[in-house]
Amino acid sequence: MATAQVDASKVNGTPSIMNTLGTSDQIVKDALEGKHVLQKLGKDDILVEDEELLSKEFINILRELNGEDIAEVVKECHTLAASYQTSGKVEDLKRLEKIINELSPGESIVATSAFSHILQLSNLAEEVQIALRQRAQKKSGHFSDEAHGMTESTIQETFGKLLNSGKTKEDIHAALKAQCVDLVFTAHPTQAVRRSLLQKHFKIRNILSALHSSAVLSENEKNELLESLRSSMQGAWRTDEIRRTPPTPQDEMRAGMSYFHETIFHGLPRFLKRVDTALFSIGIEERLPLDTQIFKFSSWMGGDRDGNPRVTPPVTRDVLLLSRLMAANLYFHEIEGLMFELSMWRCSDKMKQVVKEVVAKQSGKENVQRHYSEFWKFIPPTEPYRVLLSEVRDKLYYTREHFQAQLEGRQSYTDEAELVLRTDDLLDTLKVCYDSLCATGDKAIADGRLLDVMRQVQAFGMSLVKLDIRQESERHTDAIDAITTYLGIGSYKSWSEEDKQAWLLKELQGKRPLFGADLETSDEVKEVLDTFRVIGEFPTESFGAYVISMATSPSDVLSVELLQRECGVKTPLRVVPLFEKLADLQGAPAAVERLFSVDWYRKRIDGKQEVMIGYSDSGKDAGRLSAAWQVYVAQEDLAKVAAKYDVRLTLFHGRGGTVGRGGGPTHLAILSQPPGTINGSLRLTVQGEVIEQSFGEKNLCFRTLERFTSATLEHSLHPPISPKPEWRALMNELAATSVVEYREVVFKTPRFVEYFRSATPELEYGRMNIGSRPAKRKPSGGIESLRAIPWIFAWTQTRFHLPVWLGIGGAIKQSLEKNPDNLALMRSMYNEWPFFQVTIDLIEMVFAKADPRVAEMYDRLLVNSELQPFGEELRNKFRETKDFLLKIAGHNFVLQHNPQLFQRLIIRDPWITCLNVQQAYCLKHMRDQGHQMSVKSPLATAVNPIFGTATAPPKKSDELLQLNQTTEFAPGLEDCLILSMKGIAAGLQNTG
């Protein structure tokens, strides 16, 4: 990993970060000379000074609240870790290990938490730096993704590119009107930071932005901002970082939906206004039509029950009610705001008639009290817009009460006519207002806040997000089997695929009910049937897709169609097969073709089909390179099958946050997809910490929406090149060879599982309480049963990232031994083919975050001596792979092409190393059943001259031991481990 040189000087008693003004070229020069010295990259680089400010303020808070001694320990650990990262001297690492290992339990918690907090603050400083630099770069016409150093475009710049490539403004306008990106928020356990802390981080981020974005701040204003910054930082420090109980699916849903309240709900209309402006600039003289849906928003939170027994039918019902309650609440406040805005008296004849009817209905209700803060009295007919909107507000008021009562299990006695239950109920009324304003010459007013609210209603509907349901195919098979057994026609499970299809199609085309209340079922089958019954209770617009995991045959899809009908789902959800493992991806095109060959099903889908491609399990199953290539090929072949049957295909990409699970920069992930596979329609998951990184702040939200829109439009109108035959042949060879080596190590090496569980915190992963989903699909089993998230998480924590690179080096080596000219061919692939370049660059980025020396420390402390040579063998493969990738990319060192990310890793590296040392020793002691943490503080001994020998151990830290009353380990151990996990995740900006 990139290493750091820390200036020995101090600024106000805190470690100083060098503030030499440098350039990208200087960064490269220093790296080549082995000097990884932190420098500013230009005059607009405010990251260094923000890091300086935050570290100074945090150390002062630490000193004030926890004592001078522990503050000095934290600084000394940083100095030693930085020195070790630069020089590689074992003495520095040993001194760091000694200091950390000899801390008392309370001091260990304080120090570990301090390392973690500093890294979280670094994240906030980086986000502010990126947002401010991006705004500055817009003026220069150059825009880059600072997270990865790869060029991307604003929406207006994308229009310019497309026009220069020969597209017309009408082409662009037509493509935008037909385009739709559906972002699916998932509850995969990758968000390691508590929501309580995220709220405080939100404030800190805004304060930093305010300190830089205001052109002129008075001294008083600056001091007030700094005071607020200190308050928020101290609030974060005083908050328990550890989630003491596992979150429920409802908790996860609330956390995910908080981003809609904070940024997305208001950020979307703001972005759509920017799209309108960009269209005006190229000569399109109209706004995007109201029925255009550039974005949709969906969720798996409370709907994804595959392998998660905590997601039950009552949970799904709660989540559906919660999202509808949240939507009603948001619209209530928007309508109240519109009542202020639309104070006009002129209106169309149609509106006059509607208002007349409203006034007549309200007759006699003038004195009804609903305790509104604004417009609480009767509104006269001379304010027609307010009269009409007041009725909408009343309905939304009762709608909130209705959903609240249902959530609490109370009976709601409100007449449905008094509620807003469907999107059109709200949108139609707003359209009356819009049309009236336009008809009376007030289109400028109509296109203001009213248009924003209408666009919100169009995008979010009355459910805020559409809930997907996901279940594993075998569960549906069990339910159908119970039904056929009940009917006395045998066991469905024993039938051939042809017999299954024939029976399912016969029943789908018939009308008889298949079972009654006397159907005897297991708990698992009852859960499946009850889930379908819950779907039938809610409007169709509350739902997205029904996703089937492990779907391999047409009967898997047809069985869900039949179960929907039998359980009272009036308008069935679209059914989406999910292909995840390597073999499933390889068989996906044939499976979908078999499905399309069923006449009944083709009529049912009306020319539209969605197919989900899983990145996580395929990567765990086959390694990154082979999985990435098979995902690419599967998409090509699925597009061909869809074209053959004249079906519009939407691919649903199940991407995670890490490279090992398909993560990467949004715009390049889209632009590197095969040509002909997007066509303006895209669906993908947004998981865990990626939600925070994409939508945690209003400018991040805006930029995320712009990235998706620009890249999808560019891919549709100006798709990337298809791979040349020789590129395709070489990729087939590399993928086939890499999967053999990967599986040889992971699945066929007898003691690999033992090594994996010894050298990583995989066994301890569940203690973090970061998600409701179990780490394994089955309680027992090895790597096969382990979910992709904890698999990636464990290797990420030790900074070895084995799933990302294993197999690649061996494949390249074998290819070059076979034909040395293949190096030149790989270089041409890297320079000319987006897919290959993105794949190599992302793996290179992972190498920048990795450190085999740290992984070696874990081995030394945790792994049986007989297995340590195996660890060294893996580290040799790591180094070999890294060297090969640098040769292909033409780089002399990792991230040579990305000085911004290189700079940020220099800042992070020492703090992460401190956490790695703490974690390794925690694991060592937790696995030693007889271990007791030292009760004697090293601060009272001469560990280092800076501490002295007369200082008594601080007492304040001991109170932290009281937060964990249920631990089975020595005091402080479990909390230190969890804090180290969270801190490393923050430092690497990835968990799983």
The model's pLDDT over 80-126, given as tens digits with 9 standing for 90+, comes to: 999 988 888 888 899 999 999 999 989 999 999 999 999 999 988 88
Catalytic residue among 75, 78, 148, 188: 188
- Please give the mean pLDDT across all residues of the chain: 86
The listed range with the strongest mean pLDDT (26-30, 543-547, 938-942) is 543-547
Residue range 127-133: average pLDDT? 79
**What is the predicted pLDDT for the residue at 251?**
85
* DSSP letter assigned to residue 615: S
Give pTM, 2 decimals: 0.88
Instruction: Report the SS3 class of residue 247.
Output: coil
Q: Phi and psi for 612 in degrees, rounded to 5?
A: -100, 135
pLDDT tops 50 at residue 159: yes
pLDDT tops 90 at residue 944: no
Instruction: Report the SS3 class of residue 240.
Output: coil
Q: How far apart are CA 748 and CA 197, in angstroms?
A: 43
Interacting residues of 758 by C-beta distance below 8 A, sequence separation 6+: 862, 863, 864, 867
Do β-strands 144-145 and 150-151 pair in parallel, antiparallel, or remain unpaired? antiparallel
Instruction: Report the SS3 class of residue 861.
Output: helix
Lookup: tokens for 721: 């090149």
Where residue 39 falls among pLDDT bands split at 50, 70, 90? low
**Full set of structural domains in the chain with CATH:** 313-460 (1.20.1440.90), 725-897 (no CATH)
Q: Phi and psi for 548 in degrees, rounded to 5?
A: -110, 115
Does residue 320 or residue 201 have the better pLDDT?
320
Out of 503-507, 758-762, 896-900, 972-976, least confident range = 896-900
Amino acid type, 605: I
Lookup: tokens for 928: 């030693």
pLDDT tops 50 at residue 561: yes
Does residue 554 or residue 518 have the better pLDDT?
554
3-state helix, strand, coil in the chain (%, to 5): 65, 5, 30
Among the listed residues 947, 847, 981, the one whose alpha carbon sits nearest the alpha carbon of residue 242: 981
The model's pLDDT over 70-81, given as tens digits with 9 standing for 90+, comes to: 999 999 999 999
Residue range 306-320: average pLDDT? 93
Q: Token match 């979908």: residue?
A: 592
Where residue 781 falls among pLDDT bands split at 50, 70, 90? low
* DSSP letter assigned to residue 263: I
Verify whether residue 188 is a known catalytic residue: yes
Q: Token match 């009562």: residue?
A: 405
**Other beta carbons within 10 Å of 935:** 12
* DSSP letter assigned to residue 659: G
Q: Determine contact, residues 279/272, Cβ cutoff 8 Å.
A: no
Residue range 320-336: average pLDDT? 97
Residue range 423-437: average pLDDT? 97
Catalytic residue among 581, 620, 667, 849: 620
pLDDT tops 50 at residue 279: yes
pLDDT tops 60 at residue 635: yes
Q: How far apart are CA 316 and CA 886, in angstroms?
A: 48
**What is the predicted pLDDT for the residue at 891?**
94
Within 559-607, strands assigned E span 574-579
Within 569-709, strands assigned E span 574-579, 608-614, 648-654, 681-687
Q: Determine contact, residues 609/557, Cβ cutoff 8 Å.
A: no
Q: Token match 């199953």: residue?
A: 621
Q: How far apart are CA 127 and CA 124, in angstroms?
A: 5
pLDDT tops 90 at residue 625: yes
pLDDT tops 70 at residue 935: no
Does residue 708 or residue 618 have the better pLDDT?
708
